[in-house]
Amino acid sequence: MSRSLVPLMVVLGMFAAACGSPEVRPLGTPSAGFPQCDDVPTLAAPPDAYRAEPIYVGNEMPVDEVQEWAQSKPDYQGIWIDRDHNGWITVAFTGDVGAVQQDLLEVFPGVGVVAVEVETSEADLQSLQTRLHGELVRLDIDFGSGTYENKGVVGLDVSRMTPELEAVLEGFAGEPLCVNVPDQSLLPELGPQPSVGDGWRLLADEAMVGEPYRTGIAFDAESLAALWLTIGLNQTIPDVDFESEVVIWFGAVYGSSCPNLRLDDVVVDGATIYALIVLPDNPLACTDDANPHAYVVAVERSKLPVGPFAIQLDANEPPQGAPEERTLVLVDLSQPGSVPTADQITGDPSLPGPSYLRSGDYMETGFPQPYRLYAHCGIEWLGELNGVTWRTEEEMPAAWGPLGDDQTVVVEVTLSEGNPPTVEASLNGATVTYLPENEPIPGCD
């Protein structure tokens, strides 16, 4: 479920963890007096150092040329792309950068580049990271660290806070360090897989069986045999009292570096029933390959929603491109022994199949991609792509209508570099051109 991003939106040379976080976890209180890394501001030049142009939308800025020049100067410390300032290049130096900024204007006229002063050299940041790593490897914790050149600090990510870790961090007080630690009150407790819960019992728990992003239901012996075959389970089908129970399959997904899943509960929220699946180890990062893990549970009919309901993997909407995750049950199965007809168990046709770009996303230049445009208040504002807001003075072509029930239209967008850069949005042979806009997008009534 991944998407190609513009490579230079990431700080050059910045530490990268292993393929992405398994879940979005709220951060906790900063530890030992250190801020969360997101709270450390990105280094920037004074506002009057920036101009309205040029605007860079891809990787067209002359990074290599600027870096080669900057590396020949004393006290050079690093270089990065600042997407908050039209994709301009930032070069960092220790000491006064006034003369450097003047040289940049003369050597690179018309180029978006600024110089910033940093308090800590790159070598000192790397030394701090090495010392920190040497202390942390002695502890039994999952951690990752790296240098944030664009913030002038070393960043530390930890999976759990412990008294031992707190003591180590106190030894680095006053140093340029930020610490990302999740809210400890929200972490799953350590422990084995429970076999029963409130209104449910576990029938099967098998990794690498079935398909990921799937759900299903059985309501009698015949449908259970079919579901067992669909999942691919080899174990003997257990006894189920279908007068008082149904069987639900949760086709969970995990990255191969994080196989330690646990089904903690089966939750009923209104007309939705879903699994509470956790990563007890709370790993910092997981590989983004999608491997299946089949959980099959017998659920008491009295626990089911009264009336039609939906089954899905968690409380969130299924991810784009995985509409098969949601199973709709168009009949009330909470009554003892009730059995649906074949057409009363179905997928959800309202879920989009392919993945669409949305405002706030990044895309490669020159490669058309589908984009979901919210057009309730017209098409004047496309949204934000690659950190730039896009606007047009053209009217919505008749070929683009009518809008869907959600007041959106899916167009194909192509981002092109240039002066100015453009986004062309096309649908049914009609194309609208969008240009960069420095004003914020107004609200929509």
232-247 confidence digits (pLDDT tens): 999 999 999 999 999 9
Q: Which residues are CB-contacts of 49 (< 8 A; sequence separation ≥ 6)?
A: 101, 114
Are 171 and 287 in a shared domain?
Answer: no
Q: How far apart are CA 403 and CA 50, in angstroms?
A: 39
Q: At 355, is the pLDDT very low, low, confident or very high (cuts 50, 70, 90)? A: confident
Whether residue 133 is found in the same domain as residue 34? yes
Boundary residue ending a domain (58, 93, 117): 117
Tell me the C-alpha to C-alpha distance, in Å, between residue 323 and each of 164, 199, 212, 215. Answer: 45, 27, 12, 10
Assigned domain for 298 exists: yes
Residue 404 has a pLDDT of: 76
Residues 72 and 93 in one domain: yes
Q: Mean of the per-residue pLDDT values for the chain?
A: 89
* Same domain as 381, residue 329: no
Same domain, 17 and 156: yes
211, 331: one domain: yes
Q: 110 and 127 share a domain? A: no
Query: 333 lies in a domain?
Result: yes
Who's near 17: CB < 8 A, 6+ residues apart? 144, 157, 284, 285
Query: 85-137, pLDDT tens digit by residue?
Result: 999 999 999 989 999 999 999 999 999 999 999 999 999 999 999 999 999 99
Q: Is residue 442 part of a domain?
A: no
The last residue of a domain, from among 117, 147, 163: 117
Domain termination site, one of 314, 347, 380: 347
Q: Please check whether residue 428 lies inside any domain of the structure.
A: yes
Query: Does 376 share its domain with 401?
Result: yes
Give CA separation, 13 vs 79, 119, 266, 415, in Å: 9, 18, 43, 26
Work out the pLDDT band at 32, boundaries 50, 70, 90.
Answer: low
The answer as to whether 445 is a domain residue is no
Domain count, the chain: 4
CA distance 61 to 26: 35
What ranges make up the beta strands (E) of 270-321?
A: 272-278, 291-300, 309-312
How far, in Å, CA of 386 to CA of 363, rounded?
Answer: 7
Residue 88 in any domain: the answer is: yes
Q: Alpha-carbon distance 117 to 115, whole Å?
A: 7
Asked if residue 163 and residue 292 are part of one domain, the reply reads: no
> How distant is the alpha carbon of residue 223 from its chain centre?
36
Helices (H), 72-180: 98-107, 122-136, 163-170
C-alpha 248: how far from chain center: 28
Task: Judge if 327 and 237 occupy the same domain.
Answer: yes
Look-up: residue for tokens 């998407």?
3
393 and 339 inside one domain: no
Percent of the chain with pLDDT over 70: 92
Q: Cα-flanking dihedrals φ and ψ of residue 36, to 5°?
A: -65, 145
Kindly state whether residues 271 and 341 are assigned to the same domain.
yes
- Structural domain of 287: 196-347
Would residue 359 count as lying in a domain?
A: no
In a domain, 256, yes or no: yes
The model's pLDDT over 285-335, given as tens digits with 9 standing for 90+, comes to: 888 888 999 999 999 999 999 999 999 999 998 887 788 999 999 999 999
**Which pLDDT score, from 0 to 100, does residue 377 have?**
85
